């Protein structure tokens, strides 16, 4: 009986250790962990969308993440797989607030309601690859980097 328990224990440990690695789709390159911190005026920026856009025009493996209260964003490829493929990237950062509709409006009121313009929290230069000054290189080791962005 003890032998059976030992076999089951070893089998379950092997099963669980295999579950910790993510299964990547065929053709997807190996991904490396990328953790970024976004700061603004020396404080963490919460709720920003951070994107890694490959400098190699032939690469289709961009990655993105959203910052938490600590300004940290974990990059994910295809919004599903932890990490980013090896390569050089432009880093874009966007944080926009769009005011929601007031509750209780009727359909005619909704159609005629004029929303105020969106509020941007990050300078527009950081929103597009052509103008963002932020760049990142992902190699064979995990990446942890902090970037400072400006207000509009």
Has residue 3 been placed in a domain?
no
Q: What is the mean pLDDT of residues 80-106?
A: 96
The residues pairing with 31 across neighbouring beta strands, listed in sequence order, are: 85
Has residue 19 been placed in a domain?
no
Q: Are 31 and 77 in contact (CB under 8 A)?
A: yes
Residue 3 confidence (pLDDT) above 90: no
**Residue range(s) defining the domain that contains residue 89:** 27-148
Q: Give me the pLDDT at residue 14, please.
A: 38
- Provide, rounded to the nearest whole percent, the portion of the chain with pLDDT above 70: 86
Residue 150 confidence (pLDDT) above 60: yes
Q: Give me the pLDDT at residue 26, please.
A: 84
Q: Give me the pLDDT at residue 21, please.
A: 63
Has residue 10 been placed in a domain?
no
> CA-to-CA distance for 86 and 136, rounded, in angstroms?
10
Q: Residue 95: which pLDDT band, with cuts at 50, 70 and 90?
A: very high
Give the distance from CA 122 to its chain's centroid.
16
* Structural domain count, the chain: 1
Side-chain half-sphere exposure of 145, counting CA atoms within 13 A? 16
Helices (H), the chain: 2-19, 107-112
Residue 10 confidence (pLDDT) above 70: no
Has residue 82 been placed in a domain?
yes
Q: What is the mean pLDDT of residues 111-139?
A: 96
Task: Report the CATH number that the domain containing residue 56 is assigned in CATH.
Answer: 2.60.40.10
Has residue 44 been placed in a domain?
yes
Q: What is the mean pLDDT of the chain?
A: 88
pLDDT tens digit string along 49-70?
999 999 998 898 999 999 999 9
> CA-to-CA distance for 34 and 74, rounded, in angstroms?
6
Q: Give me the pLDDT at residue 31, please.
A: 96
- Position with higher pLDDT, 13 vs 55: 55
pLDDT tens digit string along 14-52?
343 333 467 888 888 999 999 999 999 999 999 999 999
Q: Are 32 and 142 in contact (CB under 8 A)?
A: yes
Q: Are 38 and 64 in contact (CB under 8 A)?
A: no
> CA-to-CA distance for 103 and 92, rounded, in angstroms?
33
């Amino acid at each position: 009986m003890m032998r059976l328990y030992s076999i089951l224990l070893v089998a379950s440990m092997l099963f669980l250790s295999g579950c910790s690695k993510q299964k990547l789709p065929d053709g997807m390159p190996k991904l490396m962990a990328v953790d970024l911190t976004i700061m603004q005026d020396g404080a963490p920026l919460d709720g920003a969308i951070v994107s890694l856009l490959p400098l190699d025009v032939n690469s289709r493996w961009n990655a993105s993440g959203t910052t938490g209260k600590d300004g940290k964003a974990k990059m994910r490829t295809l919004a599903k797989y932890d990490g980013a493929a090896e390569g050089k990237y432009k880093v874009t950062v966007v944080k926009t607030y769009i005011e929601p509709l007031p509750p209780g409006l009727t359909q005619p009121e909704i159609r005629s309601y004029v929303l105020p313009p969106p509020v941007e929290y990050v300078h527009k230069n950081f929103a597009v690859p052509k103008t963002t000054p932020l760049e990142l290189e992902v190699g064979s080791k995990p990446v942890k980097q902090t970037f400072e962005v400006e207000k509009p």
